[in-house]
């Protein structure tokens, strides 16, 4: 009987070790997937910001060509900060113009 208990105890320890190893691997996979999702989200936000800036620049260019504006305004962003701050300032400017 003691032999059976010892064998079952050893088998349980081995299984627990295997389970812990698999769990640790899954946790690493989840962490990697989370990082990847965060990076993708940031990239999407930057692309949306770049699009916003491009739309504003295109609009400004058409206004000059159509004679509605005399001065061409081109919006750019700081390479270190990225386009998101510039896009936010454009959004704020648009909101301000809508309120007028």
Q: Render pLDDT for 7-57 as a digit per residue (tens, 0 to 9).
A: 889 999 999 999 999 999 999 999 999 999 999 999 999 999 999 999 999
Task: Give the predicted TM-score (pTM) of the model.
Answer: 0.71
pLDDT of residue 81: 85
Q: Which of 76, 91, 82 is nearest to 44 (CA)?
A: 82
Q: Is the pLDDT of residue 100 over 80?
A: no
Q: Which residues contact 74 (CB under 8 A, 6 or more apart)?
A: 57, 60
* Range(s) of the domain holding residue 68: 2-99
Q: What are phi and psi of 25, to 5 degrees?
A: -65, -45
pLDDT of residue 97: 83
- Give pLDDT tens digits for 63-84: 999 999 999 999 999 888 889 9
Q: Which residues contact 83 (CB under 8 A, 6 or more apart)?
A: 46, 49, 50, 52, 53, 77
Instruction: Provide the domain count of the chain.
Output: 1
């Amino acid at each position: 009987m003691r032999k059976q208990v010892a064998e079952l105890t050893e088998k349980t320890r081995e299984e627990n070790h295997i389970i812990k190893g698999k769990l640790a691997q899954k946790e690493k996979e989840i962490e990697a997937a989370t990082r990847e999702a965060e990076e993708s989200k940031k990239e999407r936000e930057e692309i949306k910001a770049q699009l916003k800036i491009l739309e504003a620049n295109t609009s400004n260019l058409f206004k000059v060509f159509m004679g509605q504006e005399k001065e061409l305004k081109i919006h750019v962003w700081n390479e270190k900060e990225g386009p998101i701050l510039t896009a936010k300032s454009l959004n704020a400017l648009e909101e301000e113009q809508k309120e007028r």
